Structure 1
Amino acid sequence: MFQNLDVFRTAMAMARHAGMQQAMSAQNIANADTPGYRAKAVPEFSTTLRSSMMGQRATRAGHLNGSTEGTVDTIERHAAVDPNGNTVSLEEEMVFAVGAKRQHDRALAIYRSNLGIIRASLGRN
């Protein structure tokens, strides 16, 4: 019955992705006044999840093919360029940071809900 608990793996991946999103927003905000800095973003969770489920995965850094879990390529966010060449918008970064928090809260809610279901099925409330 509980041989395949992919929902926990997916919830953990969603929480990790939200953390990466939050870190990327923090990096962009920290470089808001850096001349020539280009704002970066993490691809959508569905895209990263789909690509991590396809293809090879490395289990340690010494492997030749595949990628290690948790590494996501960043993309450059195309936005209006300031006169100094910077593309960071603090308003947009605030919106992205709130989205990351919501995604993290959603992942924790999914995890708690499924953990409650398993505990109830085992008779351990």
Structure 2
Amino acid sequence: MSEQLNTINERLKHLRKNVLRLTQSELGNTLGLGKAAVSKMESNTSTITEQNIKLICKEFNVNYDWLVDGKGEIFIDTDRTTIELLADDYKLRPVEVSLIEEFVKLDEEERNVLLNYLQNVFLKNGQ
């Protein structure tokens, strides 16, 4: 790629315009922003908030490290599971990942029973 993408603002514009092929209005609609806000983010006259960075990454499967630091590929590996992504984001240990995996396999009634038990054990006032 011959285009210099040294800043997050340049990468955002490149992503929107050349990769996703969206207008500023279309990207803004996805983020809950107006066209002017997207324009300001792309031109570095407005800071791109962490909330918007995470939303862009989530909505378009964009690699956070690429968007923020220009490292790696533009898109994340689509074979990774949501739980693997959570494990990375929250630095979960393998035992924590296993617990989450087993929890989500439970049906709704079983999850409710377990949650009620945990609330009674760990929350004195049962919140």
TM-score (norm 1): 0.21
Normalized per residue, the structure richer in helix is 2
TM-score (norm: length of structure 2): 0.20
Rg larger in 1 or in 2? 2
Name whichever structure is richer in strand by fraction. Answer: 1
